[in-house]
Amino acid sequence: MTAPRYDVLGIGNAIVDVIARADDDFLVAQNMQKGGMALIDEARAQGIYAAMGPAVEISGGSAANTIAGVASFGARAAFVGKVKDDELGRVFAHDIRAARVGFETPPASDGPSTARCYIMVTPDGERTMNTYLGAAQNLQPADIDEGMIAASAITYLEGYLWDPPLAKDAFLKAAAAAHKAGRTVALTLSDSFCVDRYRAEFVKLLRDKTVDLLFANEAELKSLYETADFDSALSALRQDAQLAVVTRSEKGCVVASAGTVESVPAFPVEKVVDTTGAGDLFAAGFLFGHARGKDRKTSARLGALAAAEVIQHLGARPEVSLETLARERGIPV
């Protein structure tokens, strides 16, 4: 097998995050499920934007955040996602390239505008998301360069891609190309509401070995196996997944396979400011470690470090070099 050109290539929704602080009363008034993610149409998007307070615009999207984190560790990273040739589309492209991520997906010249996610951050740091997918849902198999996939040690996919049919086809094309080249396919379940919609299909991806490495948080795992008991869900997951990492907020994470279960603690944080991107950045650290041949515990510690950094400020991308931060904490990179 030839040496990879990229350590990790991510495929996901190319979204610009519009972040504002809000109180619980605002969420109630806007009929938002605290801590959840709702898909909205353009009219609803405009209504939320008109009602929300001062906002910060930052390029986001689950897999894109992860890939920006991978690059911050000093890895070679690339991203595939669809934007429109409009102002927000240009913002997204500029930001991800500025993070030293390869981004070559051609923008759409017509159709819906670039995707955006309105994120309300309450005083407790919890984030509530309302996503207008716009151009992102027009990602299609033609946007998948099989040569790029074959040249990537890990192809990382987000569960949100399972919503638009053509994006789902792109996902499967990428997974097939990765496996043909002897590479690894990773998936994040993205959101418990997403799991509710596609539970059987996600389990099938694991059992068919379309996915080699799964990321989930505790709520997503329980939703996947329709149980309120963590141990029961983890036991079921170990039968289905080749390798899985389950994050548990301040409890840290569990790295599990059929033969082993290893718990790794979370890094302490001074103050939780915004939990947006915690799971995305955890995945970044683990993927970086895994791509570079680190053991599972070291990879999980890198993930915990990245998650701790991102929840201590607004926005879902690191504000400091994660490579430098890891060296300062004595974690080999």
- Condensed to tens digits (0 to 9), the pLDDT of residues 112-129 reads 999 999 999 999 989 899
Collect all residues with Cβ–Cβ distance below 8 Å to 228 and sequence separation of at least 6.
222
* Residue 204 in domain: yes
Query: For residue 95, what are the β-bridge partners?
Result: none
User: What's the half-sphere exposure (Cβ side, CA atoms, 13 Å) at 208?
Assistant: 12
Query: Rounded distance, CA 244 to CA 256, Å?
Result: 5
Q: Kindly report the length of the chain.
A: 333
Residue 191 domain boundaries: 6-11+65-105+137-328
Report the percent of the chain where pLDDT is more than 70.
Answer: 100
Query: Rounded distance, CA 134 to CA 9, Å?
Result: 22
The count of domains in the chain is 1
What is the reported pLDDT for 3?
A: 86
| Nearest C-alpha neighbor of 277 from the set 42, 83, 23, 37 | 37
* Residue 18 in domain: no
| Nearest C-alpha neighbor of 78 from the set 102, 96, 55 | 102
- Condensed to tens digits (0 to 9), the pLDDT of residues 15-65 reads 998 999 999 999 999 999 999 889 899 999 999 999 999 998 888 899 999
* Residue 83 in domain: yes
* Residue 333 in domain: no
Query: Rounded distance, CA 229 to CA 242, Å?
Result: 21
How far is the CA of 141 from the CAs of 77, 116, 138, 184, in angstroms?
Answer: 20, 22, 10, 19
What is the reported pLDDT for 330?
A: 94
Query: Rounded distance, CA 304 to CA 16, Å?
Result: 25
* Residue 58 in domain: no
* Residue 53 in domain: no
Report the percent of the chain where pLDDT is more than 90.
Answer: 86
**Beta strand residue intervals within the chain, DSSP E:** 6-11, 15-21, 37-39, 56-60, 77-80, 101-103, 115-121, 127-132, 152-158, 184-188, 213-217, 243-247, 253-256, 261-264
Q: Is the pLDDT of residue 1 over 80?
A: no
> Dmax over Cα atoms in the chain, in whole Å?
56
* Residue 36 in domain: no
* Residue 1 in domain: no
Is residue 2 very low, low, confident or very high in pLDDT (cuts 50, 70, 90)?
A: confident
Q: Looking at residue 212, which CATH number applies to its domain?
A: 3.40.1190.20
What is the reported pLDDT for 306?
A: 98
φ, ψ at 18 (rounded to 5°):
-115, 105
Is residue 183 very low, low, confident or very high in pLDDT (cuts 50, 70, 90)?
A: very high
Looking up tokens 């053991």 gives: 295
| Nearest C-alpha neighbor of 84 from the set 47, 134, 118 | 134
Helix (H, G, I), strand (E, B) or coil at 230: helix
What is the reported pLDDT for 309?
A: 97
What is the reported pLDDT for 23?
A: 96
